[in-house]
């Protein structure tokens, strides 16, 4: 096997075997005194399986039963599958380039069969046939993107299929902020593409007592109606549980008002081009006081959107910022640069108990948390585990994204590492930070 490997591949293997890490020195004493346990080290997420709060579940059940939504169950599954399989809208330049290549290929095929000089009429006939062939090939090969019109039935289907995984993902992401900044108390929240209100539920999971203002933007009035109805226990005659709750269909033109946490979750695929996506990110960044969170499906297309937003804010947008999570660095993403594969994570959740009992499922997502200001000197920049660790007898293999913007595969062998480092690695999961240097 070794003889078949290239020298560069061998070098990479030996480099990974020789990579040595050790527990962050600032934590060593706490581990030695048993104040910290490897199974609960500070880099581990606290959220393993998320469940929509009982009061929200009860309100959702009331709404779905009032609207006889059981008959829409299969449509909700189809909608969920469609959302996961979506591609980004093709850019004008991409279509022109693809058309040019197809035209060259088709015209070569047509004219290669001609063994005489053609008259102008014959050339015109050939060109018409070529254009028809090019058009037919384009129809099959160019993704027909369209934004989704969320009328009432579609909004109910979305609620049935996507509320539980989206809430779970958002709770998992917000745990990053809560875990690393336990004294942080946000007062305002801005949710772009707020949908059925999963962002508000997730924010309230951590900061309900601290939050003063919620500002929700969604182009669908039906989504707004659903979100408000859920907060009102599924009844029209019940008042909202908080006063400063605002809903709008479009982004406010003014950027004077800023919000502690700004969220765009599963919303940017509705933008018709990269230009419109980045313009939206700039507007959201302008509204950000502390954190801008962007979340999408964990597909290649979803990660492309996340990476666009990340690179735009770090290199182009007004006002300085840095990556708070998941990246331990502000360099170009090595997964995107070297492997062109998505940096994504897995979150387990309990599905809604409708129309039958709930069960445990999982959703794959990509995200970035961008924080205003410059990275603090005391930020430990612990490496992030970017794939599920491989756990074997007496050793664990972790794929890490490091503070240097590199991907490292580190083998934590029981015979090579101290017990604390070994057990921390063995107790970690995909998406956790590993508290090592």
Q: Tell me what pLDDT residue 103 has.
A: 83
CB-hemisphere CA count at 13 Å for 99? 11
Q: Is the pLDDT of residue 381 over 60?
A: yes
The model's pLDDT over 258-281, given as tens digits with 9 standing for 90+, comes to 999 999 999 999 999 999 999 999
Strands in 162-273 per DSSP E: 188-192, 213-217, 245-248, 259-265
> 239 or 255: which carries more pLDDT confidence?
239
Q: Over 60: is that where the pLDDT of 369 sits?
A: yes
- Predicted pLDDT at 2: 38
Q: Which of 200, 356, 221 is nearest to 265 (CA)?
A: 200
Residue 370's pLDDT band (cuts 50, 70, 90): very high
Beta strands in 62-212 (DSSP E): 188-192
Cβ–Cβ < 8 Å for 433, 46? no
Find, among 409, 411, 417, the residue nearest to 396 by Cα. Answer: 411
Average pLDDT over residues 91-116: 80
Residue 110 pLDDT exceeds 80: no
Q: How many CB atoms lie within 10 A of CB 119?
A: 9
* Averaged pLDDT for residues 371-391: 96
Average pLDDT over residues 91-120: 80
pLDDT at 230 over 90: yes
pLDDT on residue 142: 74
- Mean of pLDDT over the chain: 91
Q: Over range 130-145, report the average pLDDT.
A: 81
Most trustworthy range by pLDDT among 12-16, 144-148, 160-164, 355-359: 160-164
pLDDT category at 111 given cuts 50, 70, 90 is confident
The pLDDT-based confidence of 152 (bands split at 50, 70, 90) is: very high
| Torsion-angle region of 66 (φ positive above 0: left; ψ -120 to 50: alpha; else: beta) | alpha
> From CA 204, how far away is CA 212, in angstroms rounded?
11
Which residues make beta-bridge pairs with 433?
384
Task: Write the DSSP string, 8-69.
Answer: HHHHHHHHHHH----B-HHHHHHHHTTSS-GGG-TTS-S-SEE---HHHHHHHHHHHHHTTG
Does the pLDDT of residue 40 top 60, yes or no? yes
Q: What pLDDT score was predicted for residue 121? A: 81
- Residue 11, pLDDT score: 44
pLDDT the model gives residue 14:
43
The pLDDT of residue 122 is: 77
Question: Of 49-63, 104-118, 339-353, where does the model show the most confidence?
Answer: 49-63
Tell me what pLDDT residue 13 has: 44
Q: What was the pLDDT predicted at 277?
A: 97
Question: What percent of the chain has pLDDT above 70?
Answer: 95
- Listed in sequence order, the residues at least 6 apart from 119 whose beta carbon sits closer than 8 Å to its beta carbon are none
Q: What pLDDT sits at residue 276?
A: 96
Separation of alpha carbons 318 and 360, rounded Å:
42
Find the mean pLDDT for residues 67-95.
92
Predicted pLDDT of residue 144? 79
On the question of pLDDT at 3 being above 70, the answer is: no
pLDDT in tens, 304-326: 999 999 999 999 877 899 999 99
**pLDDT score, position 297:** 97
pLDDT value for 263 = 98
């Amino acid at each position: 096997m070794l003889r078949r490997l290239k020298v560069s591949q061998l070098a990479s293997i030996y480099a990974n075997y020789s990579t040595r890490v050790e527990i962050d020195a600032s934590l060593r004493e706490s581990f030695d005194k048993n104040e910290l346990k490897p199974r609960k080290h500070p880099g581990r997420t606290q959220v393993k399986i998320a469940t929509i709060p009982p009061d929200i579940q009860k309100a959702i059940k009331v709404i779905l039963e009032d609207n006889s939504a059981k008959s829409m169950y299969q449509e909700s599954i189809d909608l969920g599958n469609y959302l996961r399989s979506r591609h980004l809208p093709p850019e004008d330049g991409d279509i022109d380039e693809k058309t040019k290549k197809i035209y060259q290929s088709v015209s070569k095929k047509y004219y290669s069969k001609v063994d005489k000089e053609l008259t102008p009429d014959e050339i015109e006939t050939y060109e018409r046939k070529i254009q028809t062939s090019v058009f037919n090939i384009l129809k099959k090969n160019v993704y027909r993107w369209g934004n989704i019109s969320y009328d009432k039935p579609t909004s109910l289907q979305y609620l049935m299929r996507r509320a539980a995984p989206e809430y779970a993902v958002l709770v998992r992401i917000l745990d990053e902020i809560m875990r690393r900044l336990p004294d942080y108390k946000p007062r305002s929240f801005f949710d772009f593409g707020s949908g059925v209100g999963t962002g508000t539920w997730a924010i309230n999971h951590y900061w309900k007592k601290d939050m003063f203002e919620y500002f929700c933007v969604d182009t669908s009035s039906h989504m707004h109606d659903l979100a408000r109805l859920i907060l009102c226990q599924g009844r029209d005659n019940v008042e909202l549980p908080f006063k400063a709750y605002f809903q709008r269909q479009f982004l406010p033109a003014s950027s004077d008002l800023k919000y502690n946490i700004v969220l765009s979750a599963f919303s940017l695929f509705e933008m018709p081009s990269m230009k419109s996506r980045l313009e939206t990110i700039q507007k959201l960044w302008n509204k950000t006081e502390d954190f801008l969170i962007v979340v999408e499906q964990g597909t290649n297309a979803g990660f492309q959107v996340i990476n666009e937003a990340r690179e735009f804010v770090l290199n182009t947008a007004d006002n300085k910022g840095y990556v708070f999570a998941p990246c331990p660095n502000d360099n170009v993403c090595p997964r995107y640069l070297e492997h062109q594969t998505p940096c994504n994570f897995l979150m387990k959740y309990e599905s809604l108990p409708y129309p039958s009992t709930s069960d445990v499922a999982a959703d794959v997502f990509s995200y970035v948390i961008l924080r205003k200001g410059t990275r603090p000197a005391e930020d430990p920049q612990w490496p992030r585990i970017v794939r599920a660790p491989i756990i074997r007898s007496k050793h664990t293999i972790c794929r890490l994204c490091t503070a240097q913007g590199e991907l490292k595969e580190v083998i934590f062998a029981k015979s090579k590492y101290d017990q604390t480092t070994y057990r921390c690695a063995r107790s970690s999961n995909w998406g956790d930070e590993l508290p090592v240097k």
